[in-house]
Structure 1
Amino acid sequence: MPLSGLIGGWLKVALGALLSVVLLSLPSSAQNSPQLVDLKLLLAVDVSGSIDFWESDLQRDGYVKALKDETVINTILSGQTGRIALSYVEWAGGDHQRVVVDWSLIDSREAAHAVAENLNVRPHMAGRRTSIGNMLNFATNWFRDPRFFSERQVIDISGDGPNNTGAKVDKARDAAIANGITINALPILNERPSPYGFPKLVDLDVYYEECVIGGSGAFVIVAKGIRSFAAAVRRKMILEVAGLMPESPVRAVPAQMGGNAKPYECDIGEQQLHEFLNRSED
């Protein structure tokens, strides 16, 4: 082999070895940079004691159907990158924040169906009390997962009652917003009496708007009863993925909430629980 050929071969080997050394010396984050997505969407679903197993099944089924819905899927695929990252967490009181589906990439119809099937087969696990504040704090940390990156981070939280234990909901909301997270809500106006005799909050939709949601483009969509939950979930996911808001207000704000009315008492759930426990001891 001519000398020039040998030198050329040695140079290729040397350059290859040098490139390997450089790559190995880089931090792992440089080698595994986050995947860019149009949206990181966290579905946070209430499984507290006021949600029985029948209602829990209907909730879960609503999300499964939404993830298989053609309009939802086409909205995901029509984004700038054509993909989102989605995670599903069920929550109740205290430290009951259970990751049912880890952050998952949805970039095709098949991927959406796979996430739906994964969600569908996961077992249910209910909890006691209601801590929206703890859920929001958990979510704020959960978004720090480095595998996916998006300028839009949205918590989609559903529930049928106010915060009654744990972190203060308004403080947890403000902390999430400070981290660039938008909080949307799907309050369930459930007419069914609580199995434990716990009082219902009649203006739960107002509570969620005044004390829970926040951030850029935040909105509330109300599920009027658990049977209408699936339709509300579908509508809400389409809007969230598309980065839109409802065309018209989801509800009319009561007159007493405007003007010079005093601020909404975001600890109303804690007050209700305190009164309920005192009555139980009498």
Structure 2
Amino acid sequence: MSDPFPPSRRRAGSWRRRQALLLPAALTVAATPAVAQGGAVDLLLVLAIDASGSIDAEEFRLQREGCAEALTHPAVLSAIGSRPLGAIGVALVEWGAPGGAATAVDWHQVDGRAAAEALAAAVVAAPRSRQSWNAIGDAVDHSAQLIAAAPWRAAERVIDVSGDAPDMRSLRPVEEARRDAAAAGITVNALAIEGGRPGLAATYERTVIAGDGAFVMAAESRADFARALRAKLVREIA
């Protein structure tokens, strides 16, 4: 008899069970703005994920759990630990509606497994924001403002945009948003969830990424999101 629960489903279920005890704390952490602490981290990273109307509930869950899995993966933690300060700042933004990009999880400092697991639990627990049409330019603008207000300094600052479609209805064109981000010293990278849109990675390369060393990676589907994001985080951090 074939296995009714493929490995990807079993891993997701295992993740949810492991995180169940952390959810009360995560709800508190996600709802509380970061407190300015001064000091510095190696990298300020905004994960800007697609929450537009094209993302159904199951796809959205795969994205959130993919972020949580990637943030706590040993390869990502090793990359963080290899940096001079051994710490990065991470925030999660959801985008979609024109002018409606929202901070789903405010800044967390990640300097080891415990901090990564707290952030991952907050990512899974945060309520979904209200979004509609793709507005990547507004997502970049919102993320750049979030970086400008971060509680720590960092020489490296990155916006990591993931999505399954090109820009459609930004209040400000993505070309202008990415140009201004790059001018402020922010690198805009992209993760294209291609699925039924072959060639999306090339579109993101032409229209979304900007700044020093900017790059695009592709995920074949939502189920491939965690793997692609993990590889992308290791490259961005290390």
Which runs of structure 2 are paired with 1:191-210 in the superposition (5 Å)?
191=196, 202-210=198-206
Aligned AA (1:137):
D
Residue equivalent to 1:140: 144
Matched residue of 2:218: which SS?
coil
* Among 66, 73, 77, the residue aligned to 1:73: 77
Aligned AA (1:154):
V
Residue equivalent to 1:238: 234
Gaps of 5+ in 1: 1-31, 192-200, 243-282
Structure 1 stretch displaced more, 124-133 or 215-224: 124-133
Residue equivalent to 1:175: 180
| Residues 45-75 of structure 1 deviation map (CA, whole Å, 9 limit, x = unaligned) | 0010111111111011110001111111121
Name the CA shift for 1:206/1:146 in 2 (closer, same or farther; >3 Å).
Answer: closer
Aligned residues with identical type, % of pairs:
38
Residue equivalent to 2:217: 221
Q: TM-score, normalised by structure 1?
A: 0.69
Matched residue of 2:97: which SS?
coil
8 Å CA contact 2:205, 2:215 repeated in 1: yes
RMSD: 1.3
Q: State yes or no: 1:159 paired with 2:147.
A: no
- For residues 146 and 123 of structure 2, what CA distance do their matches in structure 1 show? 18
- For residues 149 and 129 of structure 2, what CA distance do their matches in structure 1 show? 24
Matched residue of 1:125: which SS?
coil
8 Å CA contact 2:107, 2:150 repeated in 1: no
Aligned AA (1:238):
V
Q: CA deviation at 1:77?
A: 1.5
Structure 1 moving runs of 4+ over 6 Å: none
Residue equivalent to 1:59: 63
- For residues 190 and 176 of structure 1, what CA distance do their matches in structure 2 show? 28
Task: Considering Cα pairs closer than 8 Å and 6+ residues apart, tell me whether 1 or 2 has the greater RCO.
Answer: 2
8 Å CA contact 1:34, 1:146 repeated in 2: no
Q: State yes or no: 1:95 paired with 2:99.
A: yes
Gaps of 5+ in 2: 1-35
Aligned AA (2:233):
M
Report the number of matched residues: 202
Residue equivalent to 2:193: 188
Aligned AA (1:160):
D
Residue equivalent to 1:111: 115
Q: CA deviation at 1:203?
A: 2.3
- For residues 53 and 136 of structure 1, what CA distance do their matches in structure 2 show? 24
